[in-house]
Structure 1
Amino acid sequence: MKGIVYFMFLCMCCACRYGDTAVEEALMLAGKNRGELEAVLEYYREDSLKTKAAEFLIGNMPGHYSFADTVSVNRYYDAVDAVLDSLSGRPMEEVKGTLERLPFRMDGIDYGKVEDVETVTADYLIRHIDTAFVRWKHGAWARHLDFDEFCEYLLPYKMEEFQYLDGWRDYLWEDYRGELDGLKYSDLYWNSALQASLIANNSLKRRLHPHFIESAIVPVYRLRTRMRLPCGVCDDYSNITVSVMRSLGIPVACDFTPHWPVRASGHTWNVVKGNNGNNLTFGGADTNPDQPHNFDEKKAKIFRHTYAANPDLKRLHEEAEYVPEVFQLPFMKDVTREYMDCKDVEVACHVGTGYAYLAVFDKETWAPVDFARIEDGKAVFQDVGLNIVYLPIIFNSKGEQEAIGHPFLLEYDGHKKEFIADTLTTEKLVLRRKYPAFPYVLPYAGRLVGAEIQASDSPGFETADTLFRITDGSALGHEIWIADTVRAYRCWRYIQPWHGTHCNIAEVAFYERGSHEEIRGSIIGTDGSWGNNPDRTKEKAFDGDLLTYFDTPMHSGGWVGMDFGKPVSLEKVLCTPRGDGNTIEVGDRYELFYWSKGHWVSLGEQVATTVSLVYEDVPVGTLYWLRNRTKGKDERIFTYEEGRQVWW
């Protein structure tokens, strides 16, 4: 009995030794490495603030990972450096391709992981804590932070999982500090975190020459090497930016939206903690903090990457049978309300207990962007973005998602407008695209405005009759009907007289009256192309590919057409503007779906015979999804309102 009492006494002493349950739990998980972490706490025993900082790092260390075999992983990083040295000055695509093939020529790379609590040394942690305090207390750009903000924006010894634990603070400081020396001559800007971040970000752009493209390069987590890579995605450049700026003492973090609500994938960017307490957004090595960064784009949820674990996410991991990938790491916090108006959403959940998720539509499935615990037959999602369509779902133990309610539009006033298929009431749908026209498409589609359909009996069009003038600049295919009173002509053309249009046109097709079939003759028109690009000549207007286009060498007056060798009477002309290939393409096979009772229901397939599709007897009041079964991957859900597609 005395032995049991003594053992319990020892346990109680250990539990309160450091006055922080999280710290003691981390020390217990550290195993053989416990002595290293305890050495850090002992080192700062006489400094209460640095002790708190050490406790913050150690207490939140469980769940952070590094590679177990750093020797073999560093062999790969060294090989990447060798490739970059040997191909210095070569085209980006060549370097990218070589790096993508590199791992297949190497053996024995071990990517096994180990928790940081088992490997981080006392010397490493002490060096990082001391340096972070110097940047905070004696630097120029973080003195406005309180202790909690310091822990979030400057203190962490790593930016992401698997980051190589070297002296990144020291060598990045040496590499970049000179860029900021000029600020000391400005009484107004010397202590401005914003101005420091502007200079540092411009330096990153100049040094990194970023190419924002996806690649199959095996990830590189050693910063010295990673910063030399020829390309990357927003995650890569955002993490590099945090590392560089924190090494300089500029308080910067990474924010992200897990999935855009109107297109595929998500996005990551940076924020700098300004001296006025506001977070200013920018794109690492891209847009600066004095420029809007995706300011007005819809976002369903926004999170900030943190070093500290989110208690709600830790609870999710402890209680849920399955956790979707986006929430696999608990190191993030919800900052949606910092960015926009949002509302709480309550969803009825008649599935017992567990967790529910709000999902937005991806290209082929629904992607979770928020989670909530199911209690008393409902789940309450907090701070949800407005004017967005969501589907409430759950995941079973196999990771399969199931709808637990109707999809709904969260309107600006917080009202949920549910989409419920009414199979007793139907209407006709005329569909002209499978994906919304984003801003990058519209300037090119607008180049159709002012274009004319002309006919002549001469291939040189010395005299010509104008039969139609296009006034609609929508990113849609145009079906132009020719009056049956128009006589037959030998030559027909599309001409664009407006300045700056370059006669951009993706496809032109002529249809014969009577046979209703497309007819072809000899291609005629303006010779050459802008920049002498062989892929932009007049032949591209008749190659059956919406992703190629005609681009004349002249700003205005370019034209393209056909000489049929004899007079022909046309019924119609199809014109599709330069764009993204998501308008309806003649000859492609499409399938329309509507949402009903938790799944998509097919309304059948059609082969497009013109620039639009017509579906009869379609249930009203629900969501629709048009798929191109021939090619392409960009597809989006929509409703049908007042005769047009409305995208969500």
Structure 2
Amino acid sequence: MNLRFLFFLLVILISACSTKPSRLELALQKAGKNRTELEKVINKYSEDPIDSLKRRSVIFLIENMDGYFSYEGKSMSDYKNYFKCLRHSNQTPETILDSISNLYGFFDLNKSKKLYDLETVDSTFLVENIELAFTAWKNFPWSKNYSFGEFCEYILPYRVENESLSDWRKLLYNEYYPMVKSLKSKDPIEVAMILRDSAISRNGVPRFTMTRPANYPSLDVLTSRSLAGTCDDLAQFSMALFRTFGIVCSKDFIPLQGAENFGHSWVFLKNHKQEFFHTDFFDPIIYITETVGNRTIMKTKVYRRKFSKNWEDIEMLKNELDFIPSEFQEGGLRFEDVTPLYSNNLTDLNMTNKDLYEKISFSQSKIAFLCAPAWLDWKPIAWTKIDEDGNASFKNIDAGSLLRVAQMDGETLKFISAPFFIHKQNRSKIFFNGIGEKENISLYSKFNLDRDRWAQDRIIGGIIEAANNRTFEKADTLYIFKKRPFRLSTEVICNSSPNKYKYIRYKGAPGTHCNIAEIAFFSNDKRLSGKVIGQPGSWNNNESFNYTAAMDGSTLTAYDFNQPDGGWVGLELSEKSEITKVQLTPRNYDNYIKPDNDYELFVDSPHGWKSFGRKKARADSLVFQNVPYNALLYLKNHTYGRDERVFYIENGIQVFK
């Protein structure tokens, strides 16, 4: 045996010993006792060459299965009833959830058992899923133009998030096949529209609500058939339905919306021409263009959920970081960037040393995170590798939302830039560093009031009328509201002198349902009292929306007349009086400053939020003095309420970002 042969043999032995296990082998090792079940499926599709694609598909599933799991337990089963009740009850989601909580106790995810797919999925389940998925892909004419890669990512998967597993393919196939069996169309969108319309005719118009049991996982497909819940809950059913019939689809999502503290998701679909469509809240399926398709939502990033892991990204983050933020940990790093498809203000963000507090520290890592605000916190929504010159470049950003850059310092984020946003037109970076002058500020809300605009606008055209007969014949008009109110309590002067009146009312403008939360009448600063009168009738015959709600002393209740026109509410006074002032509160989402509530103002700093002071409101506004100019601010209500959002002051006005 010569030396060259010995050397060659030694190289082979060393290479064999140092070769890393394949992704498949690593997954099978993690499966433990369940390895046998998974290998059964691999072996089943290894016997006949005709099954080569099915063998590749099961390997794809197993390689990417690690990190998927579901929950099992009594609490999980009990609280499915909440979503079913949403469909069949006219009560508010909050009332339904309270009833479920009184019956079963509060939902506690910690009492549920976590079931990892690798350790629990059996061969029968996987084989049935693969067979039904292939049948749909190969047999339906509208599915044949999809590639094998698209099939694996967007038709084959048996789950989307951490929902409980079920035999949804078989059930939905049997239920909806009669609607499509005779179709010869090659357009999957046409088929999806038929399926969508059929689902709504069976289950009713979707009922959307953000009210949900705290920490309840993703909704399982069979429960999601009720078409009630959050955007994620509604997407769960529509994805399952479309995939059952071989239509490529998945969930596109915004991790955090600008000016909001939460994200949003919807379902994308792809047709035979490689064009993209979407359905939001299971609404009609429409083509994604520059004017629709969630383009107008404030956002920085849009991602598309995949079944497979982002293997290269995972490897890079593991090599660079000792601790990876939960948003980018291996189990959840399964998405691709589709921001350009939904962006009206697409740009790249380049952060150089002059944009940062200090030069980037490579001793921590070479990874920088782009963060967005959520309540009193910042969440990573994108990451990049820092170049050798210390610059951080983030590709495909939708400009306009509030951001800041951070690095990991152990297990916490260390901010390396002040908050900023990218100007939509000139693409400059506008920073909020809070350095220099001080200013006195007046605050009227703790959250963006854009959602209240419709109710505020319904005040415009409203009339204050006074008369001396209950029918308001020949009534005098004392005031017409011509502007949108901007605060909780708007006072207007309407001096009726020298006339005195027995009857006084607020009459809603045409088309407004007389929506109003509170109305009060004054004579020389004395609040007038008397018998509450008004036009009976309330939306959906809900008595809590009757005219008396506008004079019950609560700004959380409102008059909502059951007709667009003709609603009014007022007082029959005990004696004739002059009317000198009216105080009005529009219908609202309870985000105005409220008297007697306890508030705390926070100011941003390089190290996070710092308290600037705490005070109780004496009216519907708060004044803080000597606040840092050009600072990012946050107002917390310690009394109650959850909606709060970062803001800054521009020309004396709160701007929520």
Query: TM-score band, normalised by the shorter chain?
Result: 0.7 to 0.9
Secondary structure in 2 aligned to 1:141? Answer: helix
Distance 1:538 1:200 in 2: 43
Distance 1:519 1:373, change over 3 A: same
TM-score normalised by structure 2 residue count: 0.81
**Is it true that 1:521 corresponds to 2:525 in the alignment?**
no
**Is it true that 1:272 corresponds to 2:269 in the alignment?**
yes
Secondary structure in 2 aligned to 1:269? Answer: strand
**Is it true that 1:448 corresponds to 2:453 in the alignment?**
no
The answer to whether the 8 Å contact 2:224/2:236 transfers is: no
Distance 1:25 1:202 in 2: 44
Q: Which runs of 5+ in 2 are unaligned?
A: 1-5
**2:482 aligns with one of 471, 484, 487:** 471
The answer to whether the 8 Å contact 2:266/2:280 transfers is: yes
Quote the residue 1:420 is aligned against.
433
Quote the residue 1:556 is aligned against.
566
Secondary structure in 1 aligned to 2:627? Answer: strand
**Is it true that 1:324 corresponds to 2:325 in the alignment?**
yes
Distance 1:288 1:305 in 2: 19
1:323, distance to aligned residue in structure 2 (A): 3.5
Q: Which amino acid aligns with 1:265?
A: F
1:253, distance to aligned residue in structure 2 (A): 0.9
The answer to whether the 8 Å contact 2:436/2:629 transfers is: yes
Quote the residue 2:238 is aligned against.
241
Task: Describe how 1:285-304 pairs up with structure 2 within 5 A.
Answer: 285-289=282-286, 292-304=292-304
**Is it true that 1:195 corresponds to 2:170 in the alignment?**
no
Greater mean alpha carbon deviation, residues 91-100 or residues 40-49: 91-100
Distance 2:618 2:654 in 1: 20
1:579, distance to aligned residue in structure 2 (A): 2.3
Distance 2:393 2:640 in 1: 40
TM-score normalised by structure 1 residue count: 0.82
Quote the residue 1:70 is aligned against.
none
1:526, distance to aligned residue in structure 2 (A): 2.0
1:266, distance to aligned residue in structure 2 (A): 1.5
Distance 1:109 1:364 in 2: 25
Distance 1:169 1:237 in 2: 17
**Is it true that 1:499 corresponds to 2:513 in the alignment?**
no
Distance 1:497 1:32, change over 3 A: closer
**Is it true that 1:627 corresponds to 2:636 in the alignment?**
yes
Quote the residue 2:369 is aligned against.
357
1:88, distance to aligned residue in structure 2 (A): 11
Distance 1:206 1:325, change over 3 A: farther
1:127, distance to aligned residue in structure 2 (A): 4.0
1:252, distance to aligned residue in structure 2 (A): 1.3
Distance 1:647 1:82 in 2: 37
Distance 2:36 2:432 in 1: 59
Identical-pair percentage: 28
Quote the residue 1:187 is aligned against.
none
1:256, distance to aligned residue in structure 2 (A): 1.5
Greater mean alpha carbon deviation, residues 276-285 or residues 473-482: 473-482
Distance 1:239 1:497, change over 3 A: closer
Distance 1:235 1:373 in 2: 31
Distance 2:194 2:614 in 1: 55
Distance 1:192 1:442, change over 3 A: same
Distance 2:86 2:488 in 1: 45
Secondary structure in 2 aligned to 1:204? Answer: helix
Q: Which amino acid aligns with 1:63?
A: G
The answer to whether the 8 Å contact 2:302/2:337 transfers is: yes
**2:608 aligns with one of 592, 596, 599:** 599
Greater mean alpha carbon deviation, residues 82-91 or residues 22-31: 82-91
Distance 1:95 1:588 in 2: 28
Quote the residue 1:585 is aligned against.
594
Distance 1:573 1:601, change over 3 A: farther
Q: What's the C-alpha RMSD, in Å, of the aligned pairs?
A: 4.2
Quote the residue 1:143 is aligned against.
144
Distance 1:603 1:110 in 2: 40
**Is it true that 1:212 corresponds to 2:214 in the alignment?**
no
What are the Cα deviations for residues 23-71 of structure 1, in whole angstroms up to 9, with x where unaligned?
333344344444554454443362444443333223323333356xxxx
The answer to whether the 8 Å contact 1:287/1:293 transfers is: no
Distance 1:143 1:264 in 2: 41
Distance 2:408 2:545 in 1: 49
1:87, distance to aligned residue in structure 2 (A): 13
